[in-house]
A and B are shown apart, each in its own frame.
With several copies, the nearest count.
Chain A
Amino acid sequence: MSVRILFLGPLQDLAGKQAAEVAGPLDWNGLLAVVGNEVAEQLRQERVNVACKGRVLAEKTALLAEDGDEVALLPPVSGG
């Protein structure tokens, strides 16, 4: 059991992978530390959202993921 981090859309290219597994618990500073500089820089921008356990966080810096949780990093969307 660990925290699973998903890199969505263009963040995949910056991370060089689609997902990573890290040991929980994982907070905001822990997340910034494990995703690499380029993704961390994106995460600090307002336009990038973070979801935990299938819910978008209203305040992403309040992230607190436990082992077994999925954390999704959500850059600006472009569907339709």
Chain B
Amino acid sequence: MSVGEALAAFDAANPDAGGTASFLGKVRGGDGVKALELSHYEPLTLTGMEALAEQAAARFGLAGLLAWHRVGVMTPGEAIVLVAAAAPHRRAAFDAVDMVMDHLKSAAWFWKRERREDGWHWIEPRAQDRADLARWK
């Protein structure tokens, strides 16, 4: 799926919202990273993302929310995650994207490992990610 097409379609689907905020996360190159693999536990992931989307939509009065997360092996520059929120006001749209991203990083059933010269390394969750998540409790 193309990121541009996804955002254009989302925009077209929400003509009446005053603003749309989005975040696109990509595999970073550098640091010797050759590839990134995202795995998940499917029976939990989709229902979890749907519940998260409904929670964000209710909390921020959204007209629409797009939450897209890839799994599999990706190379630097490729998109991993795309979140967009359409809302009457900018602050609500921003906060909704921020909240969904924080949950996708620390409260959704995804695991990430990266391949460097010497093989695959699992990415440990960071304390900062958990602190970010706590902002929404």
The answer to whether A and B touch directly, with their CB atoms under 8 angstroms apart, is yes
Given contacts A75-B111, A77-B110, contact A54 B125 (CB under 8 A): no
Do A79 and B43 have beta carbons less than 8 Å apart?
Answer: no
| Chain B proximity of A38: nearest CB distance (Å) | 14
Do B122 and A72 have beta carbons less than 8 Å apart?
Answer: no
Closest to A56 in B: B44
Closest to A53 in B: B43
Do A10 and B122 have beta carbons less than 8 Å apart?
Answer: yes
Do A79 and B111 have beta carbons less than 8 Å apart?
Answer: yes
Do B112 and A78 have beta carbons less than 8 Å apart?
Answer: yes
| Chain B proximity of A55: nearest CB distance (Å) | 8
CA distance A70 to B105 in the complex (A): 25
Any chain B CB within 8 A of the CB of A8?
A: yes
Q: Which residues of B contact A77 (CB under 8 A)?
A: 105-111, 125
Closest to A6 in B: B41
| Chain A proximity of B118: nearest CB distance (Å) | 14
Do A51 and B104 have beta carbons less than 8 Å apart?
Answer: no
Any chain B CB within 8 A of the CB of A36?
A: no
Closest to A11 in B: B111
Pick from B47, B104, B122, B124: contact of A79, CB below 8 A: B104
Closest to A72 in B: B41
Do A8 and B123 have beta carbons less than 8 Å apart?
Answer: no
Contacts A51-B44, A76-B124, A78-B129 given; 13 further ones with Cβ under 8 A? A9-B39, A9-B111, A10-B113, A56-B44, A72-B41, A74-B41, A77-B107, A77-B125, A78-B105, A78-B123, A79-B112, A80-B25, A80-B105
